Each structure stands twice: as structure tokens, then as C-alpha cells.
Structure 1
């Protein structure tokens, strides 16, 4: 076995077992990913170039390249010309419960920011009207927002709210979450119906989320209700699968 020290943090150690049937590149990729996941390697940390890494680790350059490429493909590392390999971010893992994406990202130290792309009154389409329990054509407020972490897109959020539910100022929407604004307005969120899916990104979605056309996206459709049973929000959201995951806890029924 060979023990090596990461050039980024002196306290960080990795162990490569040359007698293991697990390929060395996979061992290296797994341990680098774990260091990123646990916060030992943080966005902006430089790992050096492939030649430097191969010398430090006593590995062949193709082995290091394959390990790095697997994490580049996952969106955890990026190669920068003249700089080397750099940590980009950790994947966002969100608990599957009635919570605000903004609050979850903030609690996880992901540094969320929001860009409001649309905030307008529109007539409700059939699917929106059905979800909110109103007549088709009734006025609703539509919000379209781009949520980023560490400066990179993670989700595109589209929400519909009954007209007059609460004031939706762009400045506030860019500095906090929608559910937090609802709570501040005295709206008590009680429950929601939610559907999760997956599909490929269109060219427009890929450009908006800094992905390649056809990249995997997670989708979520949610209708949220207050404590009186009134539908207060209908959302259709898309998330970068390379940067986002839902975290489930499954219980066995007695």
C-alpha cells in the first residue's frame, strides 16, 4: 500500500492499495470525491496538473487522468489551462421534505444566490388552474428564478401563486427563499403533493444551467398547501443531475 499527502491540505491523507482488485484510478477518484463531499477539499482548491499528481502519487499519468476525468464528468472538478485541476463544488443533497431550496442550500453552506428572470401576472393555464384549485384563465403570479451555488447554476425554478397571495418584490426574492417570504406573511405551510422525475435537457435549458444539450436533469412538480387546505403554490422545477440529488429516508410499514 502507498500513503500519500494531498498538496492542498497537509492534514489530508489518501491510501492506495496496489494489491486490491479495485483499479487504482477508481480508488483515487473515490477518495478525492469523499474529500470533496466531506469538505476537506473545498471549491477553489487546486490539485495541480496531471504530471504533478502522478509524481506525487507514484502513479502513471493515464491512471491519474482517468481518475480526474471521472470527477470532471461528475462536475466536481474542472481542468483550467495554465492552472491545473480545481475543485468546483460538492453535489447538493436535499432532504425530501416540505422545505425551501434556498433554506436547504443556505443551511448546507452552499452560498445560494437567486436571479429573478420573470415576475408577472398571467392567466392560469389548465394545469396551473387545476393544481391551485382555481378557474382556468384566473390571474396568477408566475415566478421564474435561476438558483446558483458558488456562482454556478444548480436549478431553474418556475412557481405559480394565486393572485394577491403576498407581495413579491424582486429584491427580496433575490435575497431569500419563497417559503421564507410566505412564513413572514403569516402563511403556514402544512403539506404538499410532489412528483419527481428525470429527462434530458433541451438546448435552451442546457444553456441556462451551464450544461450540455441532452444532459440529465432531475424534475420536480409540487403543489403546496397551507394549514387551511388552500393551495398556495404550484412549482415546476428542473435541477442539474450532476450537481443535485434528493435524499430519501424510507420506513417499513408495520
Structure 2
């Protein structure tokens, strides 16, 4: 926002910039059976997901959008409300409709959250909360194929985007696998460090679930106690069949989703 001379006062008045949505090209197909509000909502959601409408962007008011697109105000209101309901937009008194964030949609494949966030333009940030040696519990020992009570490295990391927490990641690693430097773990992803150390990731067994957040988890992830969390347990193997990682992760369901591709069995 810049200033310009005000001829009435001789001083300066703030220049009101156009909402970011005014810089985007939206179009609806009136011959399509898809409802107009849904077409607009999908285009707005796509702009948010791909970073063309960044968090904090102003969407503009319903009258401006309706006039520019030749749509009725109720149609535009319905499109905006559908994204408010999804948590992508928020209406703020005196400010207007603002982009909050996009929900990260992660494909179920052997990839890291860090890489997926970077690919989605989400600028991941990591805070390492624990990086220490501990004795393997029965669960961890079974996953990694080691003796119960033997030493493993425990990593606990808080992963955020746009300054908001998204996931809490707990990983157990064989101690002789690679050097897990905390500074490097905060600068990049675990799988990237593994690949750089010559570890070839081959396959994984993974379980996805859901549960409610505990009070401590809610505080950590900026959610209310009892909010929905997605959970994931994963054991990853290298090309020699060795278990190189066991992870137990929790994700904010309001910010995160898993995508499945389903095929018909012949």
C-alpha cells in the first residue's frame, strides 16, 4: 500500500490497493450442468492451493465479484460460504473476506511431508523438539526389527507452514544409520538426509487413522482439545529390506488430508 497527495488537505492519504482476487481470471461456463457457485468455489480453491491467493489475501466483496463475473450476489455468497465452511476463507469485520490457508492434500505414496509441502509451495518450517538416544519399546523394536531395550534415535519435530503448526512427527531411527544433526533436520527433510547418506528408500507399511486431540496436543497444534487429528504410522524399508524408520505422526485435520487413488480390481 502506498500514499498519494490529497488535494483537499495538502497531506497524504493511503492508497487502497485492489483485492488480490481482482488480479485473477475467473470464468464460469453457463452451459455446464455444474452449478455456477460450485464452479467459482473450485476456481477460488485452486487459486488458494497453488499460492495465487496467499494467506492474508483479501478476496474483495461479493458485489465486486458478482459484477465482474456477471453472477448474482447470492451465487457468489454461496461460493464464498462453501470455502468459509472448509476453513479456507474467513470473514473479518472491517476487513472483508480473507484467505486463511489451504489444506494440504498428500498422496499416499512413499514421500516425506517436507517434500510434499515444498512441492505444494507451502514453505515448510521445522522445529526439532527432541533428538536423543533412548531404549526401544516393544512396539518400536518390533517395527524396526531390533531387540527390545536396544538403542534407537528418537526424533520429535513440529512441522509448520506460514507460521502455523500442521503436524507433530515422531520418528525412531537405528542409531548407526546416519548422522542426525539437529540444524540439518530443521533445514530440510529426514528423507532427504537419508538419501544424501546413501540410504535408498524402497517401500513402506503405513496405517492411517483419526482420533481426538489431547489438551497437550491441542496446545502444540493450535487446536482445541478434542479437535479431530489424523494419525499415521509408517515403517520404511530400504532396498536391502532393512527397516530404516518407524514413524508415528499426528496432523491437524483442518489443515491436512490424505488422497487415495482407487483402481477397480479385475
| Alignment TM-score, normalising by the size of structure 1 | 0.82
Find the residue that maps to 1:168 and give its secondary structure: coil
Given the superposition, is the C-alpha separation of residues 253 and 176 from structure 1 closer, same or farther in structure 2, using an over 3 Å criterion?
same
Is 1:91–1:245's contact at 8 Å kept on the other side of the alignment?
Answer: yes
Q: Which structure's CA Rg is the greater one?
A: 2
Given the superposition, is the C-alpha separation of residues 251 and 16 from structure 1 closer, same or farther in structure 2, using an over 3 Å criterion?
closer
Is 2:205–2:236's contact at 8 Å kept on the other side of the alignment?
Answer: yes
Q: What is the distance in 2 between the residues matched to 1:166 and 1:102?
A: 18
Residue ranges of structure 1 left out of the alignment (5+ in a row): 1-5
Out of 122, 129, 132, the residue aligned to residue 141 of structure 2 is 129
Give the match for residue 206 of structure 2. 194
Give the match for residue 162 of structure 2. 150
Give the match for residue 53 of structure 1. 62
Residue ranges of structure 2 left out of the alignment (5+ in a row): 1-18
Given the superposition, is the C-alpha separation of residues 45 and 14 from structure 1 closer, same or farther in structure 2, using an over 3 Å criterion?
farther
Is 1:16–1:28's contact at 8 Å kept on the other side of the alignment?
Answer: no
- 1:250, CA displacement in angstroms? 2.2
Equivalent runs, 1:1-254 vs 2, <5 Å: 8-13=21-26, 15=28, 29-48=41-60, 52-54=61-63, 57=66, 64=77, 68=80, 70-80=82-92, 82-254=94-266
Is 2:130–2:155's contact at 8 Å kept on the other side of the alignment?
Answer: yes
Is 2:20–2:57's contact at 8 Å kept on the other side of the alignment?
Answer: no
- 1:211, CA displacement in angstroms? 1.7
Q: What is the distance in 1 between the residues matched to 2:213 and 2:132?
A: 25
> Could you tell which deviates more after superposition, 99-108 or 176-185?
99-108
Is 2:62–2:73's contact at 8 Å kept on the other side of the alignment?
Answer: no
- 1:135, CA displacement in angstroms? 1.3
Is 1:195–1:220's contact at 8 Å kept on the other side of the alignment?
Answer: yes
- 1:112, CA displacement in angstroms? 0.8
- 1:252, CA displacement in angstroms? 3.1
Q: What is the distance in 2 between the residues matched to 1:183 and 1:12?
A: 41
CA RMSD of aligned residues (A): 2.9
CA offsets 1:161-210 (integer angstroms, 9 cap, x no match): 11222111111001111011011111111111100111122222122112
Q: What is the distance in 1 between the residues matched to 2:240 and 2:80?
A: 52
- 1:99, CA displacement in angstroms? 1.0
| Alignment TM-score, normalising by the size of structure 2 | 0.79
Given the superposition, is the C-alpha separation of residues 144 and 80 from structure 1 closer, same or farther in structure 2, using an over 3 Å criterion?
farther
State the number of aligned residues: 243
